[in-house]
Amino acid sequence: MAYDKFSVIKSPAVPLPVENVDTDQIIPARFLKAVERKGFGENLFRDWRYNKDGSPKSDFPLNNAKYSGKILVAGKNFGSGSSREHAAWAIYDYGFRVVVSSFFADIFKNNAINNGLLPVVVTPEFLERIFETIEKNPEAEFKTNLKEQTLTNLTTGETEEFEINAYKKHCLKNGLDDIDYLVRMKDEITAFEEANS
Amino acid sequence: MEAKTLFDKIWDSHVVKKVEGGPNVLYIDRHLIHEVTSPVAFLGLKNRGLKVFRPEQTTATPDHNVPTENQHLSIVDELSRNQVEMLKRNCAEHGIKYHDLQSEGHGIVHIIGPEKGLTQPGMTIVCGDSHTSTHGAFGAIAFGIGTSEVEMVLASQSIMQPKPKKMRITINGELKQGVTAKDIALFIISKISTSGGTGHFIEYAGSAIKSLSMEGRMTLCNLSIESGARGGMIAPDETTFNYMKGREFVPKGKDWEQAVEKWKNLKSDEDAVFDTEYSYDAADIEPMITYGTNPGMGIGITKNIPIYNGMGESDKKTLEKALKYMEFSPGDKMLGKTIDYVFLGSCTNGRIEDFRAFTAFVKGKKKAPNVNAWLVPGSKHVEQQIKEEGLLEILEEAGFKLRQPGCSACLAMNDDKIPEGKYAVSTTNRNFEGRQGPGARTLLASPLTAAAAAITGKVTDPRELMDNEFLETDKTLEPV
């Protein structure tokens, strides 16, 4: 799936200090009926973000005008539950390019990277200080550098390195996906099938 | 030679290539698709001008979105109908076997795979659904994938994945009466949490696991994902082979004998090393129920909801949020709480043994008038068995009705939604906020505990109502 090439993102961040945010909260099942990958951002965090009558819930961070930016910061075990890739699509479609947490669920993490959304794992302490920084100054900026594999809290000057494998890093930097790679491998795959039949 | 786990043996034999500094290219034997997570994948193929690489290795069924009443009529909801029709068109265009809503072979994707013998030991099986872990019960590597990966499998019969770590969970001893595979799973998740399995693939072992029927094993493996694990598996044995023999897609005659001989080798070497190990005593497990908003928030049914005292700040915050949603208080007893709905079904507990257990329990009793009960078989085949075995009459006599197969209120994509604020004792897999309908409150439990709640209208320990008559009919829980 085509997405923007990823390099450096410097931006304020939106805090979501909740643990175990499951993909049913990110995008409830009733919004999975589309047959194209469009418009999921509208329903991102639908039931936490809107009242039943469709009016925004004022206490939800996405509805708070003081928070903005391309970085979502969430509590540990983000993206648990359903494998729905719509969760990654919704976060990307809303305008985020990075999700920071101290722990991600496996399927969500894969889905995010496959869609140009960078999951950044930081230590619980670093995460705590990011939340503190945003609370003091919602306009505080953070810098994600994919090449260096670092996330910097520009207010405190602290930097943490994050892990990403070399192959996925290459894909993200160049806007490539696995399908291009696998389709080029069809002869090898066919040979594997023959050897194992 | 280095000692290998069951997981290593299957994974390593499916690696087409190890990408330098990256994931493995993993060959996929069996691919299952449904209407919700496949349309964008087919669209991707079309945009790239690609055909499905191995259409005969993919099987399709619409399940997430389908109504569970009047399935002979056109689907009323336009968006749902569109998704189902698109799956049918995509399958026709690419030569993929499609099990239409009206056909005999229809059902929830993870119910029909094993039913048809598509699920076999030693295979790699994927589907755009996290509960694909169900198929691990047969000693297969089975896990859920995203839509991009569905497109990869359609395009190349392979995906790119880093090899997970290995975990073994051993449960020895004898299960107490009234304790089911569902209770084992909820017990494990309550111990290791919804993130305890993350990054791992689980192998379940021990005498209590061995004693489970094939369907019980499927329930257990199904819930592996709720601990965060990619999947769970159990080494195949006689129970596995007895279940499989004669099913539509399994080898026949001499091929069957040869396959079984090969499958018997699918087990972890004795000195194989796991990255993480847990061990529990079966006798410590009682019927479980959840009180919160993730499957790790479960307790033995006679226990009380935890109190904040002694909890860390973040755990306290998480519990507070959950109890506010559930309108429960710390320290509350679960027993005796009034409930409004009972849901029996889903890929977790929608198989014939689940219906036999539920039916044996409610036989000769009456559904509580305050309870709305939705009984949804996992497949047309299960529905047929319910009728043929005479379970339907018993259920109707007790005041229950049977709906038609589908995922239904497990994720409430169709019209089967638990209303806002209502409590449902549900045999499904997730009690997340709004999972069974906006504002719905889910208490996860076994079919027996669901049956007990349906009879009394409150959270009830099923063991209190298991009389001699039930014990006599308990033999119906045996596999066919």
The CATH number for B298's domain is 3.30.499.10
Q: Which residues of B touch A149 (CB under 8 A)?
A: none
Query: Who's near B440: CB < 8 A, 6+ residues apart?
Result: B412, B417, B418, B419, B420, B421, B422, B424, B434
Q: Which residues of A touch B198 (CB under 8 A)?
A: 77, 103, 105-106
Please give the average per-residue pLDDT across A144-167, as a whole number: 97
Predicted confidence band of residue A49 (pLDDT cuts 50, 70, 90): very high
Please give the average per-residue pLDDT across B361-375, as a whole number: 97
Please give the average per-residue pLDDT across A75-102, as a whole number: 97
Q: Which residues of B touch A167 (CB under 8 A)?
A: 19-23, 160
Residue B413 placed within a domain: yes
B410 in a labelled binding site: yes
Query: Chain A contact for B149, CB < 8 A?
Result: yes
Query: How far away is chain A from the Cα of B152, in angstroms, using its nearest Cα?
Result: 5
Please give the average per-residue pLDDT across B239-261, as a whole number: 98
The answer to whether residues B421 and B338 touch, using CB atoms and an 8 Å cutoff, is no
Residues B272 and B301 in one domain: no
Q: How far is CA A1 from CA A37, B44, B151, in A?
A: 10, 7, 10
DSSP count for chain A of H helices, then E strands: 8, 7
Predicted confidence band of residue B480 (pLDDT cuts 50, 70, 90): very low
pLDDT at B383 over 80: yes
Query: Chain A contact for B335, CB < 8 A?
Result: no
The answer to whether residues B475 and B385 touch, using CB atoms and an 8 Å cutoff, is no
Residue B201 has a pLDDT of 98
Query: Chain B contact for A36, CB < 8 A?
Result: yes
Nearest to B155 among A29, A76, A182 (CB): A182
Predicted confidence band of residue A177 (pLDDT cuts 50, 70, 90): confident
Q: Which residues of A touch B194 (CB under 8 A)?
A: 20, 77, 80
On the 0-12 / 13-18 / 19+ scale of CB atoms within 10 A, A155 is: middle
Residue B472 has a pLDDT of 52
Q: How far apart are CA A117 and CA A9, in angstroms?
A: 12
Residues B294 and B228 in one domain: no
Assigned superfamily of A8-196: Aconitase, domain 4 (3.20.19.10)
B347 in a labelled binding site: yes
Percent of chain B with pLDDT over 70: 97
Residues B336 and B362 in one domain: yes
Nearest to A111 among B146, B151, B420 (CB): B146
Nearest to B198 among A106, A110, A179 (CB): A106
- Per-residue pLDDT reduced to its tens digit, B313-338: 999 999 999 999 999 999 999 999 99
Residue predicted with more confidence, B477 or B470: B470
Residues B444 and B336 in one domain: yes
Nearest to B146 among A34, A110, A165 (CB): A110
Query: Chain A contact for B13, CB < 8 A?
Result: yes
Q: Which of B66, B404, B448, B56 is nearest to B287 (CA)?
A: B448
Nearest to B434 among A20, A47, A76 (CB): A47
Q: How far apart are CA A118 and CA A129, in angstroms?
A: 20
Query: What are the b/e assignments for B61-84, b being 16+ CB within 10 Å?
Result: bbbbbbbbeebeeebebebbbbbb
Query: Chain A contact for B477, CB < 8 A?
Result: no
pLDDT at B460 over 70: yes
- Provide the token pair at B190: 């309550």
Check B433 against A25: CB less than 8 A apart: yes
Q: How far apart are CA B374 and CA B395, in angstroms?
A: 12
Residues B38 and B173 in one domain: yes
Interface of A with B in 77-96 (CB under 8 A): 77, 80-86, 88
3-state secondary structure of A169: helix
Mean pLDDT of chain B: 96
- What domain count does chain B have? 2
Q: Which of B310, B340, B133, B336 is nearest to B218 (CA)?
A: B133
Q: Which residues of A touch B226 (CB under 8 A)?
A: 81
Nearest CA in chain A to B317: A18
pLDDT at B474 over 70: no
Strand partners, B17: B25
Query: Who's near A59: CB < 8 A, 6+ residues apart?
Result: none
Query: How far away is chain B from the Cα of A21, in angstroms, using its nearest Cα?
Result: 9
Residues B242 and B340 in one domain: no
- Per-residue pLDDT reduced to its tens digit, B67-109: 999 999 999 999 999 999 999 999 999 999 999 999 999 999 9
Query: Chain A contact for B82, CB < 8 A?
Result: yes
Residue B478 has a pLDDT of 46
Residues B186 and B319 in one domain: no
Phi, psi of B231 (to 5 degrees): -170, 180
Residues B245 and B379 in one domain: no
Residues B165 and B125 in one domain: yes
Q: How far is CA B103 from CA A184, B97, B100, B106, in A?
A: 38, 12, 5, 6
Q: How far apart are CA B455 and CA B291, in angstroms?
A: 20
Query: How far away is chain B from the Cα of A12, in angstroms, using its nearest Cα?
Result: 24
Query: How far away is chain B from the Cα of A139, in angstroms, using its nearest Cα?
Result: 25
The count of CB pairs under 8 A between chains A and B is 188
- Provide the token pair at B290: 């959840």
Interface of B with A in 236-275 (CB under 8 A): none
Residue A168 has a pLDDT of 94
- Per-residue pLDDT reduced to its tens digit, A98-129: 999 999 999 999 999 999 999 999 999 999 99
Strand partners, A153: A142, A158
Q: Which of B466, B139, B152, B186 is nearest to B349 (CA)?
A: B186
Residues B368 and B236 in one domain: no
Look up residue A147 and give its DSSP letter.
Answer: T
Nearest to B83 among A35, A86, A181 (CB): A35
Residue B475 has a pLDDT of 44
Query: Chain A contact for B195, CB < 8 A?
Result: yes
pLDDT at B479 over 50: no
Check A166 against B20: CB less than 8 A apart: yes
Query: Chain A contact for B294, CB < 8 A?
Result: yes
3-state secondary structure of A12: strand
Query: Chain B contact for A2, CB < 8 A?
Result: no
Check A165 against B21: CB less than 8 A apart: yes
Mean pLDDT of chain A: 96
Q: Give the angle B219-B220-B224 at the CA atoms, nearest 5°.
A: 115
Residues B332 and B264 in one domain: no
Q: Where among B246, B276, B306 does a domain terminate?
A: B276
Nearest to B434 among A24, A32, A115 (CB): A24
Range of B94's domain? 6-276
Domain map of chain A by residue range? 8-196
Q: Is the ipTM of this complex over 0.90?
A: yes
Query: What are the b/e assignments for A2-40, b being 16+ CB within 10 Å?
Result: ebeebeebebbbbbbbbbbbbbbbbbbbbbbbbbebeeb
Predicted confidence band of residue A1 (pLDDT cuts 50, 70, 90): low
- Provide the token pair at B400: 């229950």
Residue B476 has a pLDDT of 47
3-state secondary structure of A103: coil
Residue B284 placed within a domain: no
Query: Chain B contact for A43, CB < 8 A?
Result: no
Q: How far apart are CA B143 and CA A41, in angstroms?
A: 27
Residues B206 and B302 in one domain: no
